[in-house]
């Protein structure tokens, strides 16, 4: 068995659910973390049926709440020692301009997408350094670009990618690998959660062409981790887009992104 413990945050749907299924055969124990307890329990039930040997712990937790993050860490620290994979995957977005964003949603996005990632890594590093292990932090292709009407989300993912790269170098040669996973668009619940009521979708032209499947993202991430990659851009299209974004001069990127269709309130009829 490769791991004694695999921790998946955001395990109740989308990529987290895919990771839980893909990793069940590679660990003695798996902790599934998300707010929707019924969802993680039914995923656990399905995974147990196909992998009867794995112990699955369902830990309901709102990662936006400091007290719940602390209690989660306590529970995770109490699990039997062993090589550990921490998958910081929970995250959400909020389509629309910052001026009209709900303050609660702003705080929640920053707590889940950034603070929870750092606190879980920091709180579990003693275990990871003692027993060995890996960290996968789910960033995004958006980490390589600034996005109007998705500015905070893109900035939060730039934070995750940069944090992961720095951490990877800090931990080099100490038995803990760190990977930043940078998917492009994937069909999950992400889009509907990020969508504001009454707002136009304002999708980028050709966005549908970029879509990658959950399975493709999960298998690319696990392959990349095994190879010791610093970042994984699942699919050739997403990888090429990442390269293009990093090679494009900032002045040109600003011009292109200024032409991006806006995600504005449907009734306003255009950019305010």
Ligand X SMILES: NC(=O)c1ccc[n+]([C@@H]2O[C@H](COP(=O)([O-])OP(=O)(O)OC[C@H]3O[C@@H](n4cnc5c(N)ncnc54)[C@H](OP(=O)(O)O)[C@@H]3O)[C@@H](O)[C@H]2O)c1
Binding site for ligand X (CB under 6 A): 10-16, 34-36, 39, 61-64, 89-92, 108, 112, 138, 140, 183, 185-186, 188-190, 193
CB of 238 to ligand X, least distance (A): 9
Q: Say if CB 4 and CB 32 are below 8 A apart.
A: no
At its nearest, how many Å lie between ligand X and the CB of residue 242? Answer: 12
Q: Could you tell me the smallest distance in angstroms from the CB atom of residue 130 to ligand X?
A: 26
- Assess contact for 113 and 92: CB atoms under 8 A: yes
Residue 197 in tokens: 């009521």
Minimum CB distance to ligand X smaller for 133 or for 185? 185
> Smaller CB distance to ligand X: residue 15 or 24?
15
When the beta carbons of 140 and 164 are compared against ligand X, the nearer one is 140
With respect to ligand X, which residue has the nearer C-beta, 125 or 186? 186
- Nearest approach, Cβ of residue 50 and ligand X (Å): 20
What is the helix (H) or strand (E) element at residue 29, kind and residue range? strand 27-34
Judge contact between 139 and 154, C-beta under 8 A.
no
Q: What is the dihedral of CA 60, 108, 189, 32, to 10 degrees?
A: -20
Min dist CB 33 to ligand X, Å, is 7
Q: Is 30 exposed, middle or buried (0-12, 13-18, 19+ CB in 10 A)?
A: buried
CB-nearer residue toward ligand X: 24 or 63: 63
Closest separation between CB of residue 61 and ligand X, Å? 6
- Residue 196 phi/psi, 5-degree rounding, is -90, 145
Determine which helix (DSSP H) or strand (DSSP E) holds 242, and give its type and residue range. Answer: helix 236-247
Contact status, residue 31 vs residue 43, Cβ threshold 8 Å: no
Q: Which is nearer to ligand X, 195 or 248 (CB)?
A: 195
Closest CA to 32 of 22, 23, 44: 44
**Distance, CA of 81 to CA of 112 (rounded, Å):** 26
Q: How far apart are CA 124 and CA 122, in angstroms?
A: 6
Judge whether 83 and 4 are in contact, CB under 8 Å: yes
Smallest gap, in angstroms, from Cβ of residue 29 to ligand X? 19
Task: Please name every residue paired with 59 in a beta bridge, in sequence order, or none if there are none.
Answer: 33
Which residue's CB is nearer to ligand X, number 84 or number 140? 140
């Amino acid at each position: 068995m490769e791991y004694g413990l695999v921790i998946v945050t955001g395990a109740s749907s989308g990529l987290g659910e895919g990771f839980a299924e893909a990793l069940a055969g590679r660990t003695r124990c798996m902790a599934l973390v998300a707010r929707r307890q019924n969802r993680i329990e039914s995923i656990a039930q399905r995974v147990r049926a196909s992998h009867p040997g794995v112990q699955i712990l369902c830990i309901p937790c709102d990662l936006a709440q400091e007290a719940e993050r602390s209690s989660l860490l306590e529970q995770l620290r109490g699990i039997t020692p062993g090589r550990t994979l921490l998958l910081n995957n929970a995250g959400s977005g909020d389509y629309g301009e910052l001026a009209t964003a709900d303050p609660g949603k702003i705080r929640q996005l920053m707590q889940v997408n950034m603070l929870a990632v750092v606190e879980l890594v920091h709180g579990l590093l003693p275990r990871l350094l003692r027993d060995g292990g890996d960290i996968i932090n789910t960033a995004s292709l958006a980490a390589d670009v600034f996005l109007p009407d998705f500015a905070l989300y893109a900035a939060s993912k730039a934070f995750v990618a940069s944090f992961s790269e720095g951490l990877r170098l800090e931990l080099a040669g100490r038995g803990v690998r760190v990977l930043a996973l940078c998917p492009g668009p994937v069909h999950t619940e992400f889009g509907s959660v990020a969508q504001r009521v009454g707002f136009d979708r304002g999708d980028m032209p050709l966005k549908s062409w970029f879509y990658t499947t959950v399975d493709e993202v999960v298998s690319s991430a696990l392959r990349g981790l095994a190879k010791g990659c610093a970042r994984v851009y699942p699919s050739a299209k997403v990888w090429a887009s990442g390269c293009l974004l990093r090679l494009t001069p900032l002045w040109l990127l600003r011009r292109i992104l200024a032409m991006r269709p806006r995600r504005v309130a449907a009734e306003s009829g255009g950019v305010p």
